[in-house]
Amino acid sequence: MQRRSLTLPLIRQYSASIAQSPCRELLLAPGGPSGLGAFADDFRVWCFGYDPATGHLQWSFVLSMMGPPVMLGAMLALLWWEPLRGALVRPATVSRHALAAAASVAAVAAGFVFLGAEPAQGELPFPAEGLRTAHKPPQLRLVNQRGEPVDLAALRGQVVILTAVYASCPHTCPQILAQAKRAIASLSDEERESLRIVAVTLDPAKDTPEALADLATRHGLDAPLYNLVTGEPSEVEAVLDSMGIARERDPQTGIIDHANLFLLLDRDGRIAYRLTLGDRQERWLASALRVLVKEGDHAS
């Protein structure tokens, strides 16, 4: 009994963490363009590094989210093994509880299916508090399309959009740049003064400052607001790894299949939000930028 009483606070802590996070439940919820499906997809981007374009998850995120329930189950089995073993010798009792648990799971699953099939009832508001994080940013010291040094640590005090593209990308990179431009265009001139965009090349062996300058000219991306950065391949690859950008080059075509992510850094340099491509994500991108810009306005 003493061992159980000493461990109860820890069990309560694990239970609270499980109850407060919607991520675990939304991992298995069906995706979709509207309703709960779209909401689940948006949360999976934040919770599990989900990329809707590729369907890939970052499994390190999944394991970190699923760890507490496993630990809670292990503690319960350890502390209440004797009563559990006694229940196992009474199959009728176990069957009743198993059927009740199965019915609960089936009801939840049916709810997901029903809600996922419902059309969207208006625009979902940006869940600023629910999606907020405070992760450590990568160390980034590279050069932009003008050959000027860009140090992420030196940009503290401003809001930063951190993403990844490459000059010869035929598919999603133009979409990434266009979505960022539209979100930024929705801000006021005063709000844009507190903002910087840093796009790390996914192809450092080919993307020289000159190649990135050509890309910036084609898309109307002017420094110092827009910084397309490159450097030594080993340094750039390390930055991309620390950003959690999954990528793979097709050896035949040379096209790089990659995650489409926006990491939003607050004025203290912490990763506050993690978003991706899509109509709702674009609206949330603009909303998140306003949230982060206003934090500095309140502090000043």
Is residue 124 in some structural domain? no
Residues 166 and 106 in one domain: no
Using only C-alpha atoms, the chain has a radius of gyration, in whole angstroms, of 23
Distant-in-sequence, close-in-space partners of 5: CB < 8 Å, separation ≥ 6: none
Q: Is 244 left (phi over 0), alpha (psi -120 to 50) or beta?
A: left
CB atoms within 10 A of CB 116: 18
CB atoms within 10 A of CB 58: 16
Which domain does 201 fall in, by range? 129-299
Helix 81-88 to helix 91-117 angle, to the nearest 10 degrees?
100
Q: How far from 180 is each of 79, 195, 219, 253, CA to CA, in Å?
A: 52, 12, 11, 27
Residue ending a domain, among 54, 89, 117, is: 117
Residues 161 and 106 in one domain: no
Is residue 10 in some structural domain? yes
Q: Tell me whether residue 101 is exposed, middle or buried, using C-beta atoms within 10 angstroms of its C-beta: 0 to 12, 13 to 18, 19 or more.
A: exposed
pTM of the model: 0.65
pLDDT tens for the chain, 300 residues: list them.
Answer: 544 454 555 445 544 444 445 555 555 555 554 444 555 665 566 566 665 545 566 655 556 556 666 666 676 666 666 666 666 666 665 566 667 666 665 665 555 555 444 444 456 788 988 899 999 999 999 999 999 999 999 999 999 999 999 999 998 999 999 999 999 999 999 999 999 999 999 999 999 999 999 999 999 999 999 999 999 999 999 999 999 999 999 999 999 999 999 999 999 999 999 999 999 999 999 999 999 999 976 554
Residues 72 and 149 in one domain: no
**The domain that contains 256 carries what CATH number?**
3.40.30.10
Residues 231 and 100 in one domain: no
